[in-house]
Amino acid sequence: MAAPKVAVVGAGVIGLSTALCIMETCPSCSVTILSEQFSPNTTSDVAAGMLIPHTYPGTPIHVQKQWFKETFTYLFAISNSAEASEAGIHLVSGWQVFKNTPKEELPFWSDVVLGFRPMSKAELQKFPQHQFGQAFATLKCDCPPYLLWLEKRLKATGVQMYTRKVADLWELHSEYDIVVNCTGIGAHQLVGDKKLFPIRGQVLKVHAPWVKNFIRDGDGLTYIYPGIHRITLGGTREKENWSLSPDPGTSKDIFDRCCSLEPSLGGAQDIQVKVGLRPSRQCVRLQREVLSQGGVKLPVVHNYGHGAGGFSVHRGTAKEAACLVGECIAALQDSSSRAKL
């Protein structure tokens, strides 16, 4: 059988990393990325890129932990390399604070991040409205540079990238042997996934270089995430809201909430507003499927629905999707050798 042709649809962090993992595990493949949008116009470009996992109710915790651990290990190695600045990845320490002590004082990911511990009484004095907190160091990914770094890696391995709107996965069957669906919220329409819904996120990107530590309210709504060049202030989680237009009232509310956690932000400059639609469902859709029409079959691998937690698990789910592509290739080779008999 000739080198299998694989199309990856979608060029956010999930699509690009899945394509990279496919090239790493099946180097004989020919991989093409097709997407209506590339960076800086993807949902991933809006993401804060902070490695603090979101929990998926429909996925076993040990699986989520494995995804997170693989992602953390991968990005930690980049953060310790000469490419850290170009890839936009750095370590940042800080605090997650709670108004009431959470049921789970030790989250499932506490031994993956670095130096996880309860905050001292003295540290908590910085947050008079909060009575419990956790201190740790984790990785922060500045998303636009990271996406460009991934694209550069892909081009170096010979991956082709084309701007193209795919209206139906079946339209690719004559050109490709396997299709990988990494379309995020686009899968709602593309494959009619009714379990997928948007959670609208509005954030501010500001210049405040004196703020060095991340601060996250335990409710997950208010957060301050320092990047290499700008700080992301958040945020909102608006279920089923498809609007990409920034709301000025929401921006003021986000800014006020962040200033109550870190009053020095009152002097922040150059405030930009960004909006993205997180592709959410009870669990990430990571599975193989075979589409067939008139006896013709098209193997498909789905990898989408990461919601607010895409950056925290992107490498782990990409590796799993690449394994599924490997299974599809093995099945194709098996059927082509049987056809020759």
Residues at the annotated binding site? 43-44, 166, 183, 223, 278
Does the CA dihedral 97-101-104-106 come out positive or negative? positive
What type of residue is 156? A
* Nearest Cα to Cα of residue 185 among 171, 174, 199, 175: 199
**Residue numbering of the annotated binding site for D-dopa:** 223, 278
Give the ranges where 52-206 is alpha helix by DSSP (H).
61-79, 84-87, 121-124, 143-156, 187-190
* Nearest Cα to Cα of residue 223 among 47, 18, 62, 36: 47
Helix (H, G, I), strand (E, B) or coil at 267: helix
In this structure, are residues 225 and 50 in contact, taking their beta carbons and an 8 Å threshold? yes
**Residue numbering of the annotated binding site for FAD:** 43-44, 166, 183
**Residue 295 backbone class (left: φ over 0; alpha: ψ -120 to 50; beta: rest):** left
Give residue 214's Cα distance to chain centre.
Answer: 19
In this structure, are residues 139 and 79 in contact, taking their beta carbons and an 8 Å threshold? yes
Residue in the block written with tokens 């507003």: 273
* Whole-angstrom distance, CA of residue 276 vs CA of residue 263: 26
Helix-strand-coil percent breakdown of the chain, rounded to 5?
35, 30, 35
What type of residue is 215? I
Q: And the tokens for 165? A: 């709107």
